[in-house]
Amino acid sequence: MSTSPPTGASDSPDGKCSTAAPPPRPCETTRCGSGRFPSDSEAWDITMDVPAGATVIDASTFSKWGPELAAVVPEGGEMVLTGVATDCCVLSTALGALDAGRFVTVVSDACAAVSDEAQQQTLALLQLLSPMCEVVTSRELLARATPAERT
């Protein structure tokens, strides 16, 4: 994988899909209110291991939800979301997936927002969308995973 990875979406045997979004690209930072990382910052050099054969989706929009991701996550399927920024890209992607009839699990300690307050407010908003949207910690997510999913 390259040093500036695309949003990754990996299929798993149980039909679940996980996505991870890198920080917004420089063209998005002003709109997200971040602006903290100039385009030559090492913060963009994120390496993420993606399982062999996994589907990788690269989108420069706030919401990563679209036809490509819809093809990976079947209607009624579950998508696990992590990433930056909770109050921007994660929220946008979750709302799009929920509108399209997918179940969404947001891993609260695997996301970050522009501030602690924005993080808590966004997670609280997502929790209001239960039962289609669930907010869990990474520990809670791992506890419900099968041994094969934990490796």
Structural domain spans, the chain: 8-146
Helices (H) and strands (E) in the chain, counts: 6, 5
**Which pLDDT band holds residue 32 (cuts at 50, 70, 90)?**
very low
**Which pLDDT band holds residue 95 (cuts at 50, 70, 90)?**
very high
pLDDT greater at residue 147 or residue 36: 147
Q: What is the pLDDT of residue 29?
A: 35
pLDDT over 60 (residue 6)? no
**Which pLDDT band holds residue 26 (cuts at 50, 70, 90)?**
very low
Strand partners, 56: 8
Q: Taking all residues of the chain, what is their mean pLDDT, rounded to a whole number?
A: 77
Least confident of 2-6, 41-45, 49-53, 110-114: 2-6
The CATH number of 8-146 is 3.40.50.850
CB 37 within 8 A of CB 23: yes
Rg of the chain in Å (alpha carbons): 15
Strand order in the sheet with 78-84: 8-11, 17-21, 78-84, 103-112, 133-136
Structure tokens at 142: 């791992």
Asked whether the CA dihedral 109, 113, 115, 117 is positive or negative, the reply is negative
Mean pLDDT comparison of 6-15, 51-60, 123-132, highest-scoring range: 123-132
Whole-model pTM? 0.68
Identity of residue 88: C
* Alpha helices in the chain, H assignment, sequence order: 26-32, 67-72, 91-99, 116-127, 138-144, 147-150
Q: What is the pLDDT of residue 11?
A: 40
Tokens 């100039």 sit at which residue?
38
pLDDT over 90 (residue 25)? no
pLDDT over 70 (residue 43)? no
